[in-house]
């Protein structure tokens, strides 16, 4: 699995890969061919082309060492192990979990993985002590290991209408998205073309930026609370007859629902809504559960809670903003089939599911 990196595009493997495919015109065969094969092709480029001779391991090692010696102010040693060290550094600096990084690196021994992780953590401490803003140079890390390949294929097949050949995707990205037309390709240097792909920035709508900010919060209850208020506010703005929003009414409604108070008559004291003692302790472990475990707990909680008034205030927020939308989505859109749900959503970001994925309403999942 390759993930795009739009936060630090200089490190985006997909942009560089698409640039390589577009410049060489590779349509099949090996992506990384021998130097002689590539040199001969670039002297008289033809499209589409096929490379049948793979670059040798010794040649790769020589090229890798040569590049590293030019880039870094130290003597090495440099080799294929340097790639794994760099991968661990990006994972640890990007907030990756230790178990996920070990699987991604294909390390079978935790002792071997620990050596790489300790080095990465030490270098992170050094960088922070030198007042380096790590978040500006390393994006959020995403795991690439998948044990169930069949499920991955099923998910990919569900979006088959959007699948295209790699060479066509490269052409579309370079010419349509980045604006490197055929005429520009003839006058621009390879460095200029690569720079153009790096400088291309994806744009997010204001709504997407807001939810990205919410998603960056670490407190799950605070995240759910802000998400609920924001959704309510956006819904009010989208009403055709909402020329002006009654801010005092909105504030009162918010106070009633989130604090657990029922408002009394105007000028009177607020009547306290009854809150129970059930704090749903399992919600504190949700972030550590596997997707299928999260789904099982959602079903169990929803079927167990008979009256929301038996819940504490924070547990009620969790029930409304996390449990309810996921359970409704499972019931309404997947006929309560947990396997079908997990094929569509193999990773359940429970704290943002309602905001970014599905509210559980209607007859099918709606893109937010």
Q: What is the pLDDT along the chain (368 residues), one digit of tens a residue?
A: 788 888 788 888 889 999 888 888 888 888 888 777 777 877 777 777 788 788 888 888 888 888 888 888 777 788 888 888 889 999 998 888 888 888 888 888 888 889 899 999 998 889 888 877 776 678 888 888 877 777 777 776 665 556 678 888 888 888 888 888 777 777 678 888 888 888 777 665 566 566 667 666 666 667 667 767 776 776 676 555 444 434 333 333 434 444 444 444 444 444 444 567 888 988 888 888 888 889 989 999 998 888 888 888 888 888 998 999 999 999 888 888 888 788 788 778 888 888 888 888 877 776 54
β pairing state of 261-262 and 271-272: antiparallel
Give me the half-sphere count of Cα atoms (radius 13 Å) on the Cβ side of residue 295: 21
DSSP for 115-177, please give it.
HHHHHHHHHHHHHHHTT--HHHHSPPP-----S-HHHHHHHHHHTGGG---HHHHHHIIIIII
In whole angstroms, what is the distance from residue 313 CA to residue 277 CA?
9
Radius of gyration for the alpha carbons in the chain, expressed in angstroms and rounded: 26
CA–CA separation, 158 vs 154, rounded Å? 6
* Count of beta carbons in the 10 Å neighbourhood of residue 81: 10
């Amino acid at each position: 699995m390759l993930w795009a990196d739009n936060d630090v595009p200089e490190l985006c493997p997909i942009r560089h890969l698409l640039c390589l495919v577009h410049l060489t015109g590779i349509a099949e065969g090996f992506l990384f061919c021998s130097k002689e094969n590539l040199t001969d092709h670039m002297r008289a480029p033809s499209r589409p082309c096929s490379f049948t001779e793979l670059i040798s391991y010794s040649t790769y090692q020589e090229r890798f060492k040569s590049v590293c010696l030019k880039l870094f102010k130290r003597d090495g040693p440099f080799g294929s192990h340097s790639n794994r060290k760099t991968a661990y550094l990006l994972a640890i600096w990007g907030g990756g979990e230790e178990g996920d990084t070990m699987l991604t690196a294909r390390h079978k021994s935790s002792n071997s993985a620990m050596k790489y992780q300790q080095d990465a953590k030490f270098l992170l401490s050094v960088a922070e002590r030198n007042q380096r803003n790590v978040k500006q140079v390393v994006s959020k890390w995403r795991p690439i290991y998948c044990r169930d390949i069949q499920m991955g294929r099923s998910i990919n097949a569900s979006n088959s209408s959007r699948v295209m050949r790699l060479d066509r995707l490269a052409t579309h990205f370079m010419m349509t998205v980045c604006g490197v037309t055929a005429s520009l390709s003839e006058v621009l240097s390879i460095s200029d073309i690569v720079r153009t792909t790096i400088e291309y920035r994806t744009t997010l709508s204001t709504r997407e930026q807001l939810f990205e900010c919410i998603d960056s919060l670490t407190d799950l209850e605070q995240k759910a609370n802000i998400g609920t208020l924001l959704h309510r506010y956006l819904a009010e703005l989208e009403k055709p007859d909402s020329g002006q929003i009654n801010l005092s009414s909105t504030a009162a409604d918010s106070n009633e629902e989130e604090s657990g108070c029922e408002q009394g008559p105007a000028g009177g004291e607020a009547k306290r809504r009854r809150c129970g003692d059930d704090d749903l302790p399992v919600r504190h472990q949700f972030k550590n559960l596997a997707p299928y475990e999260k789904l099982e707990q959602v079903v169990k909680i929803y079927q167990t809670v008979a009256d929301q008034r038996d819940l504490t205030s924070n547990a009620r927020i969790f029930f409304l903003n996390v449990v309810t939308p996921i359970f409704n989505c499972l019931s309404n859109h997947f006929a309560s089939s947990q396997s079908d749900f997990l094929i569509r959503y193999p990773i359940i970001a429970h704290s943002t599911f309602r905001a970014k994925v599905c509210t559980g309403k209607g007859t099918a999942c709606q893109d937010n």
